[in-house]
Amino acid sequence: MKKRLGSAVLCTMITLCLFFVSACSSSSPQTGETLSKDNPAASGSAEASSPAASQAESNGEQVVIRHTMHDHEFSPEMIAEFEKEHPNIKIETVPADYNKLMSMITAGNVPDIIRTDLSELSGYVNKGMALDLTDYFNSSMVLQPDDFLPIVNQYRYDPVKGIQGEGALYGFPMDVSPDFTIFYNKKLFEAAGVPFPSSTEAMTWSELVELAKKLTVKSGDTVTQYGLTYYKGNIAANQDLLNLQLLQMGSSAYSSDFKSADYTKPEVKKLLQFWADTTKSMIGPNPLHPATDWVGQLFVENKAAMMMIGYRGSGFLKANPLTKDRLADFGVAPAPMADDGTRISPTAFGTGAMIYSQTKHPKEAWTVYEWFLGGKPEEEQVKAGLALPGTRKLMELLPKETDFDKMNVEFIQNELKYNNGTMPFNPYLTYQAVDSVFDKYFTPVYYNKDTVDGAAKKMTEELNVLIHEGIQLLGSR
């Protein structure tokens, strides 16, 4: 889960630093460092970054390629295997949450391969930090465009049009999923006398909330069992849930070019009111009563009846000691749809990676990148049911041995029919800045310290200031 910054102002300051990082880091000896006394700075030219060019050849010397993937994604054992096969490359793991990564970027100490998700990609491209990988993929024997699944297109971005899903390829997924699909606990449904939801027909958001109310258990003012949880955070107004609902309604809180925001639009205010009312119903963790633990832990401890987590929940339940021996207790349900909208079950936070545009060793970085996303590390993630991959070849490795596996494969194949549409994350804003605006202006609504109308107006004003600053910073590059 992303760490939230204290204020939107801090996010803007970090963004300002990002716009100047390319110039600062091109002379840094810390990114893609060569293990020798001679370490000339790599050219930042397009020629140096082309797969057909020298690609900052290491002349046979061993080079260091640094990455920010997690250990469970790119384990020390797999790194050792890679290094044995590629003695000219040493891989270093850089543990970096969002705040640490921003500090490293500001200091010009940028890793060569950066873990990123779809909400971050456009911002990195706009800041000149992401290497255009189109030619690399076109010449790859491992990650071949003819084998790509449609989700890979979400890693395309056209910075001129400001459109994600078009243009050059700047990344590739390692973990995609229709992120709002639901796992539910059959035992808790039975105890409440509530029928199981359909595994093929989507509920509306209103139906989902009403179902969650029936499954919420309270002791006085204390909730002992939540009806619904969301793996990224609260059941409350937030940019993820609103973006999805607006997408399903054919609308957005932003203009078509993302250069302005308007949370005062009737459909947006209606959704904000929906979440204000839902939050006060206490069906899930919320700003009034935050969760005492990660919601996944609440789910495996039978303290939550439903959890929006996407396909990755299958691997989570299979690996967790509290659930791995009772997988028959769990069922699946589609992502909910807007009451007056179209069924869309998008990948919102598909996790993948990009290569830093100023890496000194793009050839070696690509070698690591290609092996990580198309080789054994990704294969192991897919086989464990922890990820949906970006290629048809790897999709064949999804586990199908048990009844639980078969349920999940059949379910996800149907759900992927609705995996269209791009979540409208604004390329001129950081994800964290928008979170901060929600925290600052909408939290008072829950405490009856402000109204939906008042909060919507303030959110609109501050987001437009931040968007304007983002556009100005881009213009100064």
Residue 457: closest CA among 472, 428, 471, 437:
437
Q: Is the dihedral of CA 366, 370, 372, 376 positive or negative?
A: negative
pTM here? 0.83
CA angle 316–405–325, rounded 5-degree value: 60
Measure the CA–CA gap between 227 and 20, rounded to whole angstroms.
46
Question: Which residues, in sequence order, are bridge partners of residue 254?
Answer: 261
DSSP designation for 357:
T
pLDDT of residue 59: 63
Under a CB-based contact definition with an 8 Å cutoff, are residues 112 and 32 in contact?
Answer: yes
pLDDT of residue 35: 41
How many residues are listed for the chain in this entry? 477
The overall longest dimension of the chain from CA atoms, in Å, is 72
At 414, list the tokens: 């149907």
Per run of 10 residues, the mean pLDDT along the chain (length 477 residues) is 38 38 35 38 36 48 94 92 96 87 87 92 90 97 94 91 90 91 98 98 98 95 94 90 95 94 98 96 93 92 96 94 98 95 90 94 97 94 90 95 97 92 85 94 96 98 96 72
266: burial class by Cβ within 10 Å (0-12, 13-18, 19+)? exposed
For tokens 């076109």, name the residue: 138
pLDDT of residue 58: 52
Residue 248: closest CA among 178, 310, 295:
178
pLDDT in tens, 45-80: 333 344 444 344 456 689 999 999 999 889 999 999
Measure the CA–CA gap between 424 and 442, rounded to whole angstroms.
20
CB atoms near residue 56 (< 10 Å): 22
- What are the two backbone dihedrals, phi and then psi, of residue 355, each rounded to the nearest 5 degrees? -110, 135
Measure the CA–CA gap between 145 and 143, rounded to whole angstroms.
7
pLDDT of residue 292: 84
Measure the CA–CA gap between 132 and 170, rounded to whole angstroms.
5
CA 93 vs CA 89, 114, 267, 272, 365: distances in Å: 13, 11, 45, 41, 13
Rounded to a whole number, what is the distance in angstroms from the first to the last CA of the chain? 31
pLDDT of residue 102: 82
pLDDT in tens, 402-427: 999 999 999 999 999 998 877 888 98
Measure the CA–CA gap between 116 and 291, rounded to whole angstroms.
26
pLDDT of residue 309: 94
Amino acid at 145: P
pLDDT of residue 236: 94
